[in-house]
């Protein structure tokens, strides 16, 4: 253990105010307790006020504050800091202390579980039943179930196994945090003579922060900062953006698949269904036509078939482009397919996490700001006047946030080029393979230009709303007759 270090200029722990926010134990405990309190109150509030009309707080907190700001914004910039104040991780550390401390069985110690839970249990259901999770009651029930599952896993298994393997956003936050411009590591010179390893003893996740720099990976670190209060040699540094993806590190297959599935489920499906679905020609797209065809021959009940087929097509296209593109690239470069796929697959990380900032920026003005304010006003009886949206889709200035979509694919192209350096082959072969290895990125880029073309040529549908959802499903017989 070390009691004093001369901190580097880029060490956040040495910067006034930021150092206090990220390292002060009392401040962090107060923050974690406030977040836990809000989380539990939002669940309770969701049960006693189950409908949207009487409850803006539960959905405002979960979907207007936690998801866009604590997840998308912080992950792409500061890294996994949300995990550090996550209510589940916070209570988990106490539960695991008096729990059974069993080893997680091998079958369950699989990060694919969390990825699949997020992909099928959340996004698949979300597109089929778009209104479901948006109600306060459903949101409260979902988070209550996840809390019960988390408590059971923390109690039975050690090393915060729930965070590592079961949490639906655990693997996602782990891989997307590599895009950020921060890194937790230690002053390795100070660590050389260390005999106590207090940093490792303080870590509930059984990690060794003094190995992070050498491995170029913070592994399952949730940036809870417990180790930083155990030893002064722990540092939290500003680095170049995506520093975690530039140098070599041990690849994790679940992480690459998490990137592909999340890009498909969020970036591509939303471009199909939510963006192009608002255009005047929404009936002409192949996912809408497929949905209308099946609506005519099968009864899907309350399922939003357009959302369902937009999701299915997005997933099939994304996986095909990744696998097919990487296969051709591997053949051109004469490099093993798996090595090509998992080395270069990480390069698509900016598509969702940086591109997603365009959605967060716009929706802050359309809905998040007033939903959060009105929700807190309602839940804590603040007596404020009801806040109106800060902007509407008709306000052209809000579209400035689209810039993040363009930054996202440029960033991803750069990462493909950088990560190609890890492949041992001739330079001209890498240049030839580049467009194939970037197939999904090229598709994402083209989709952005296509969306701009569609709206400038055909415009939005008259109401400006997504008309392809099941609520607006046209009379199928009438449609067939046309
Ligand atoms: S960071 Fe860990 S290994 Fe390094 S000096 Fe401190 S306790 Fe020892
Ligand atoms: S390495 Fe440090 S910051 Fe990361 S999880 Fe462990 S104690 Fe928390």
* Chain segment 441-467, per-residue pLDDT in tens: 999 999 999 999 999 999 998 765 554
Band of residue 121 on the pLDDT scale cut at 50, 70, 90: confident
Same domain (yes/no): 111, 186: yes
Among 195, 199, 203, 221, residue to substitute to test ligand 1 (most atoms within 8 Å of Cβ): 199
Band of residue 474 on the pLDDT scale cut at 50, 70, 90: very low
Is the distance from the beta carbon of residue 207 to the nearest atom of ligand 2 less than 6 Å?
yes
Is the distance from the beta carbon of residue 469 to the nearest atom of ligand 1 less than 6 Å?
no
Same domain (yes/no): 242, 261: no
Looking at the CA of 92, name the nearest ligand: 2
* Chain segment 364-376, per-residue pLDDT in tens: 999 999 999 999 9
Same domain (yes/no): 231, 300: no
Same domain (yes/no): 138, 218: yes
Characterize 236-254 residue by residue with b for buried, 16 or more Cβ atoms within 10 angstroms of its Cβ, and e for exposed.
Answer: bbbeebbbbbbeebebbeb
Residue 478 has pLDDT above 50, yes or no: no
Which residue puts its alpha carbon closest to atom 4 of ligand 1? 191
**Which atom of ligand 1 lies at the shortest distance from residue 195's CA?**
8
Measured in whole angstroms, the distance separating CA 174 from the mean position of its chain's CA atoms is 9
**Which atom of ligand 2 lies at the shortest distance from residue 225's CA?**
3
- pLDDT reported for residue 473: 45
Is the distance from the beta carbon of residue 231 to the nearest atom of ligand 1 less than 6 Å?
yes
- pLDDT reported for residue 385: 92
Residues 6 or more apart in contact with residue 431 via CB below 8 angstroms:
none
Better pLDDT: 464 or 106:
106
* Chain segment 348-393, per-residue pLDDT in tens: 999 999 999 999 999 999 999 999 999 999 999 999 999 999 999 8
Residue 477 has pLDDT above 90, yes or no: no
- pLDDT reported for residue 481: 34
- Domain range for 34 is 1-247
Percent of the chain past pLDDT 90, that is, above it, reads 85
Measured in whole angstroms, the distance separating CA 315 from the mean position of its chain's CA atoms is 17
Is the distance from the beta carbon of residue 5 to the nearest atom of ligand 1 less than 6 Å?
no
Is the distance from the beta carbon of residue 288 to the nearest atom of ligand 1 less than 6 Å?
no
* Chain segment 273-307, per-residue pLDDT in tens: 999 999 999 999 999 999 999 999 999 988 999 99
Find, among 53, 55, 36, the residue nearest to 45 by Cα. 55
Same domain (yes/no): 271, 210: no
Same domain (yes/no): 354, 393: yes
Same domain (yes/no): 180, 283: no
300 burial level (CB within 10 Å; 0-12, 13-18, 19+): middle
Tally the domains of the chain: 2
Among 81, 83, 227, 232, residue to substitute to test ligand 2 (most atoms within 8 Å of Cβ): 227
When the pLDDT of each residue in the chain is averaged and rounded to a whole number, the result is: 92
Same domain (yes/no): 123, 31: yes
Band of residue 472 on the pLDDT scale cut at 50, 70, 90: very low
- pLDDT reported for residue 432: 98
Same domain (yes/no): 195, 303: no
Ligand 2 centroid from CA 234, angstroms: 10
Band of residue 196 on the pLDDT scale cut at 50, 70, 90: very high
Looking at the CA of 159, name the nearest ligand: 2
Same domain (yes/no): 97, 112: yes
Is the distance from the beta carbon of residue 222 to the nearest atom of ligand 2 less than 6 Å?
yes
* Chain segment 199-257, per-residue pLDDT in tens: 999 999 999 999 999 999 999 999 999 999 999 999 999 999 999 999 899 999 999 99
Last residue of a domain, one of 195, 222, 247: 247
Ligand 1 centroid from CA 231, angstroms: 6
Is the distance from the beta carbon of residue 229 to the nearest atom of ligand 1 less than 6 Å?
no
- pLDDT reported for residue 455: 94
Same domain (yes/no): 241, 261: no
Average pLDDT over residues 32-48: 97
Looking at the CA of 86, name the nearest ligand: 2
Same domain (yes/no): 349, 473: yes
Reported pTM: 0.91
Last residue of a domain, one of 247, 266, 301: 247
Angle subtended at Cα 164 by Cα 187 and Cα 75, rounded to the nearest 5 degrees = 65
Last residue of a domain, one of 247, 267, 288: 247
* Chain segment 52-91, per-residue pLDDT in tens: 888 999 999 999 999 998 889 999 999 999 999 999 999 9
Ligand 1 centroid from CA 155, angstroms: 28
Residue 132 has pLDDT above 90, yes or no: no
């Amino acid at each position: 253990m070390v009691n004093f270090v001369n901190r580097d200029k880029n060490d956040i722990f040495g910067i006034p105010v930021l150092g206090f926010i990220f390292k002060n134990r009392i401040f962090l405990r107060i923050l974690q307790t406030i977040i836990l309190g809000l989380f539990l109150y939002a669940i309770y509030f969701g049960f006693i006020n189950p409908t949207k009309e009487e409850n803006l707080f539960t959905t405002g907190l979960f979907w207007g504050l936690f998801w866009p700001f604590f997840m998308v914004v912080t992950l792409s910039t500061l890294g996994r800091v949300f995990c550090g104040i996550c209510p589940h991780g916070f209570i988990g550390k106490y539960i695991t202390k008096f729990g059974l401390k069993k080893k997680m069985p091998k079958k369950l110690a699989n990060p694919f579980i969390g990825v699949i839970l997020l992909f099928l249990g959340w996004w698949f259901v979300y597109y089929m039943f778009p209104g479901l999770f948006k109600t306060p009651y459903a949101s409260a029930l979902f988070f209550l179930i996840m809390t019960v599952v988390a408590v059971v896993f923390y109690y039975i298994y050690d090393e915060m196994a729930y965070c590592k393997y079961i949490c639906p956003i655990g693997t996602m936050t782990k891989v997307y945090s590599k895009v950020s411009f921060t890194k937790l590591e230690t002053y390795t010179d100070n660590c050389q003579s260390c005999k106590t390893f207090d940093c490792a003893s303080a870590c509930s996740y059984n990690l060794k922060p003094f190995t992070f720099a050498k491995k170029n990976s913070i592994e399952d670190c949730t940036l809870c900062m417990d180790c930083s209060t155990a030893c002064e040699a722990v540092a939290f540094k500003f680095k170049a953006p995506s520093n975690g993806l530039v140098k070599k590190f041990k690849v994790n297959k679940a992480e690459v698949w998490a990137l592909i599935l999340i890009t498909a489920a969020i970036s591509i499906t939303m471009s199909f269904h939510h963006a192009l679905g608002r255009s005047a020609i929404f009936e002409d797209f192949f996912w809408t036509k497929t949905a209308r065809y099946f609506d005519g021959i099968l009864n899907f009940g309350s399922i939003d078939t357009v959302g369902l087929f937009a999701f299915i097509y997005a997933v099939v296209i994304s996986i095909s482009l990744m696998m097919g593109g990487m296969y051709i690239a591997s053949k051109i470069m004469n490099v093993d397919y798996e090595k090509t796929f998992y080395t270069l697959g990480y390069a698509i990380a900016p598509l969702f996490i940086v591109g997603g900032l365009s959605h967060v920026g716009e929706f802050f003005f359309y809905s998040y700001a007033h939903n959060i304010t009105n929700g807190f006003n309602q839940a804590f009886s603040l007596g404020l006047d009801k806040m109106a949206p800060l902007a509407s889709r008709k306000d052209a200035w809000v579209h400035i946030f689209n810039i993040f979509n363009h930054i996202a694919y440029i960033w991803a192209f750069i990462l493909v080029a950088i990560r190609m350096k890890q492949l041992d082959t001739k330079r001209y072969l890498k240049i030839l393979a580049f467009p194939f290895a970037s197939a999904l990125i090229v598709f994402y880029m083209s989709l952005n230009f296509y969306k701009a073309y569609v709206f400038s040529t055909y415009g939005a549908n008259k109401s400006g709303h997504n008309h392809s959802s099941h609520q607006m499903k046209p009379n199928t017989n009438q449609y067939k007759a046309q």
